Amino acid sequence: MQNYMEQQLFKTLPYKTIAEVTNESVSYIQARKDRTIIPLKTRWKKFNRVCCGGLEPNMILTIAGGSGSGKSAFANTLETDLIDLNTDQEIVILDFSFEMLSYRQIGRKLSNRLRRTTSELYSAEDSIDDATFTKVKEEAERIKKYQIYYIDTPSTVENIEKTIDYFHETIAKDKWLIVILDHALLVEGDTERGTIVDLQKMFIRKKKLSNTSIIQLSQMNRNIEAPDRINNPSSHFPMRSDLAASDAIFQASDFVIAIHRPELLNLAIYGVKRLPVKDKVYLHFLKVRDGEPCILEFNNELKYGNLIETESTTSEQKVVFNNKIG
């Protein structure tokens, strides 16, 4: 009490003693041991394992990828999994869907559930039959029960922060709030780099709110398409420098994942270990809090917004490309 009064008197920054912080650390370890704090699971066991059990509170997870890599589809499925596979938790998702109109996000969820491509659902060629449309309406009724809130009008860092604060204190009060932003480059601001830096600072503040997790999507540049990268097995993979404002994003994030489809680069084999390419998607964990970078291999089913875990022994590589991560 005396310390608090002195802090108020001298207007210092709030501080804690090492004893207080140590007690917090032991309490967290105890809670994980007793399963009173349980990370949110996804359908991908290897993904959960690398992420220390799944999505934790007070975490910033960055999903990066080039245009057409499938990062938005992957995040859409991840969003649904967090609700479907963690029914013991009250979860509220605030989705800043700046790249895609929100009704198309729902189209992707229906595609994943019905195993029909969005082109089929939208009758791009032939109209869907009545039986399929009945299933669409049935699944839509189930989806309506989710506590997901969409904002698809791009705005500033300040307005995003105000909205997060509002949800944390009202709609998501005493619940687990998951904030998803797709994607960082679409946030409004004076300069691209300055806006991303401000966004990361804001996310660091918000992840410290109780029961709050942040998932942000980030665009990657096209440097990986350069001939010297494509033709070099030690460098035709995502690197830290391929992310826009990579330093700010890496410093803020607990996990940075680059989703990559080497097939799009017309590669026959992938990396010095000659990994398979056809119908493959690789998740490159470029940053792993309290762990080592690694690469996970999946079979590609992104047309339904899904990745299928492989049984391959190469699916969890600690060192695949000379451990060069940018």
Q: Are residues 2 and 73 in the same domain?
A: no
Answer whether residue 25 is part of any domain: yes
Answer whether residue 326 is part of any domain: no
- The answer to whether 241 and 64 are in contact (CB under 8 A) is no
- Rounded Cα distance between 75 and 97, Å, is 11
Q: Are residues 3 and 105 in the same domain?
A: no
Helices (H), 60-129: 71-84, 102-114, 118-121
pLDDT at residue 7, as a whole number? 66
Q: pLDDT tens digits, residue range 140-152?
A: 999 999 999 999 9
Q: Are residues 203 and 105 in the same domain?
A: yes
Q: How confident is the model at residue 325 (pLDDT cuts 50, 70, 90)?
A: very low
Q: How confident is the prediction for the chain on average, in pLDDT?
A: 88
**For 273, what's the count of Cα atoms within 13 Å in the CB-facing half-sphere?**
16
Comparing 237 with 84, which gets the higher pLDDT? 84
Say which residues have a Cβ less than 8 Å from residue 251's Cβ, sequence separation at least 6.
Answer: 200
Q: Are residues 140 and 237 in the same domain?
A: yes
- Rounded Cα distance between 23 and 16, Å, is 11
pLDDT at residue 326, as a whole number? 37
Q: pLDDT tens digits, residue range 23-43?
A: 999 998 898 888 878 899 999
- At 155, give phi and psi (nearest 5°): -150, -170
- Rounded Cα distance between 222 and 147, Å, is 36
**Identity at 308, one-letter amino acid code:** I
Poorest-confidence range of 178-182, 257-261, 269-273? 269-273
- The answer to whether 295 and 307 are in contact (CB under 8 A) is no
Q: Are residues 279 and 244 in the same domain?
A: yes
pLDDT at residue 222, as a whole number? 85
pLDDT at residue 321, as a whole number? 42
| pTM, to two decimals | 0.88
Q: Are residues 31 and 110 in the same domain?
A: no
- Rounded Cα distance between 189 and 186, Å, is 9
Q: Are residues 207 and 134 in the same domain?
A: yes
What mean pLDDT do residues 80-84 have?
A: 94
Answer whether residue 269 is part of any domain: yes
Q: Domain containing 101 — which CATH number?
A: 3.40.50.300
Answer whether residue 279 is part of any domain: yes
Query: What are 52's two structure tokens?
Result: 């220390």
- At 49, give phi and psi (nearest 5°): -65, -45
Instruction: Evaluate if residue 322 carries a pLDDT over 80.
Output: no
Instruction: Evaluate if residue 96 carries a pLDDT over 90.
Output: yes
pLDDT at residue 1, as a whole number? 55
Q: Are residues 78 and 33 in the same domain?
A: no
**HEC string for 8-38:** HHHCCCCCCCHHHHHHHHHHHHHHHHHCCCC
- Rounded Cα distance between 133 and 275, Å, is 40
Q: pLDDT tens digits, residue range 209-234?
A: 999 999 999 988 888 888 888 888 88
pLDDT at residue 12, as a whole number? 80
Answer whether residue 322 is part of any domain: no
* Residue 27 domain boundaries: 1-37
Answer whether residue 174 is part of any domain: yes
Q: How confident is the model at residue 319 (pLDDT cuts 50, 70, 90)?
A: very low
Q: How confident is the model at residue 68 (pLDDT cuts 50, 70, 90)?
A: confident
Answer whether residue 153 is part of any domain: yes
Q: How confident is the model at residue 83 (pLDDT cuts 50, 70, 90)?
A: very high
Q: Name residue, tokens 């490309």.
A: 321
Q: How many domains does the chain have?
A: 2
pLDDT at residue 271, as a whole number? 84
pLDDT at residue 3, as a whole number? 64
- At 184, give phi and psi (nearest 5°): -60, -35
- Rounded Cα distance between 12 and 4, Å, is 10
**CA angle, corner 106, sides to 101 and 109, nearest 5?**
135
Q: Are residues 261 and 137 in the same domain?
A: yes
